[in-house]
Amino acid sequence: MSLLIKHGTVVNPAKGQHEIADVLVENGKIAAIGKDLSKEGAQVYDATGLIVAPGLIDIHTHLREPGQEAKEDFHSGTQAAAAGGFTRVATMANTKPVVDNAALVRGLQKQAELTGVVKVEFMGAVSKNLEGKELAELGDMAEAGVVGFSDDGHYVESAAFMRRALEYSQMFNRMVIDHAEETTLTKHGHMHEGFVSYELGVAGRPAVAEDMAVARDIMLADMTGGHIHIAHVSSKNTVDLVREAKAKGIQVTCEVTSQHLSLTDEYLREYNPAFKMAPPIRSEDHRQALLEGLKDGTIDCIITDHAPHAYEDKDHEFYCAPNGFSGLETSLAAVITNAYGPDKLSIDEVVYHMSTRPAELLHLDAGVLEVGKDADITVFSTEETWVVDRNQFYTKGKMSPFDGMTLTGRAKLTVVNGEVVMKEGEVLR
């Protein structure tokens, strides 16, 4: 079946394209991009007033399968991705069992193909069982198709071990994703350490804990020539460190979550566990530095860090609640609401950071609208407003700091390999 997306504003950063045009899809591929296209018998979608972009890609999610399916599984997680406009996600290795060997990778790839609504990539663990003692099967997992290595959720405390990981990973042209928090400074903290935490009497997680970890691993990347990628940057000093390292030619990249671009620690005054995450949302000066880092290219991409929990697990008093929440269905809207507009990001920059650059980081043949490429397409509005209702989420994790907020911007059509998997908010698979 053919699909013809008409009259949308095609935003295609990899080609420097920003114009009103049509996109024709045939047999799962992009067949044509141009003016006044027609195709007899094609399904037509009128994208007037909407953005037509290469499919959004989230390189940092937690789909929880295997072992934690009560929180999420490949089907529910990829339904949430489709609802949020994502055509591809990468899922982290901190599952039960940990994804630290090639046999498990291959089995999970097959399961994701059978039950997933969008494309799923896999991160392999850096260390066996995330213990930071013995390297996981990096080479075998790379051959099996993992797109990177990470002990996300755990800081690799041994500098010697991280050195070895960077040395080995570069043999396979994969980056090591670093959950950078010096745990001796954060293990008893529940929120950003600053004025609000002092006022509330809540033990904090200081930004310097992130800065110290990032500084160490930048130096190790410089020493080894390996590619270090800093996960979910939250500190203004980290942005400066990465900026300086890039200027020196060190192989360092980084990401920021839509929630760290949108929220500050002021939201924690009601002790709502929905706002509890690691690293924590910080003060306004940090949020502004993150936005500046995106604008000048220091920060490479925007991610969700989608981390669903069963509602009964998250719905505890603040001190006892786990970190993280479900972010795939609100991320695009949060970015458009809080990081897009005059003196912020242009729509071309939004698409670049949420599609084109993520594809480059993972070495994927994606992130571009081009004839002959897979028809992975996201159509979205930058003007539609809506009230977030967690009870309408497709994810199993019905907890969100954005619940009840009015956001601007929404995915309208998600196309994967030429198949419409979400239309007007309804996931079709």
Residue ranges at the known binding site for substrate: 62-64, 94, 309
Query: One of 305, 343, 348, 365 is an active-site residue; which one?
Result: 305
DSSP letter for 281, please: P
Triad 7, 382, 303: Cα angle to 5°: 115
* Cβ-contact 211, 237 below 8 angstroms: yes
Retrieve residue 108's tokens.
Answer: 């999970």
Triad 56, 175, 352: Cα angle to 5°: 25
The whole-angstrom separation of Cα 387 and Cα 79 is 20
The whole-angstrom separation of Cα 314 and Cα 299 is 30
Instruction: Give one DSSP letter per residue of 212-268, joined into a string.
Output: HHHHHHHHHHHHH---EEE-S---HHHHHHHHHHHHTT--EEEEEEHHHHH--GGGG
Strand partners, 275: none
Strand partners, 178: 230
* Cβ-contact 220, 226 below 8 angstroms: yes
Alpha-carbon torsion 363, 367, 368, 373, what sign?
Answer: positive
Question: Is 305 labeled as catalytic in the residue annotation?
Answer: yes
The whole-angstrom separation of Cα 271 and Cα 183 is 23
Q: Which residues are annotated as a binding site for Zn(2+)?
A: 60, 62, 152, 179, 232, 305
CA-CA-CA-CA torsion for 414, 416, 418, 423, nearest 10 degrees?
A: -20
Provide the phi-psi class of 66: left if phi over 0, else alpha when psi is between -120 and 50, else beta: beta
Alpha-carbon torsion 151, 153, 154, 159, what sign?
Answer: positive
Query: Could you give the residue numbers annotated as active site?
Result: 305
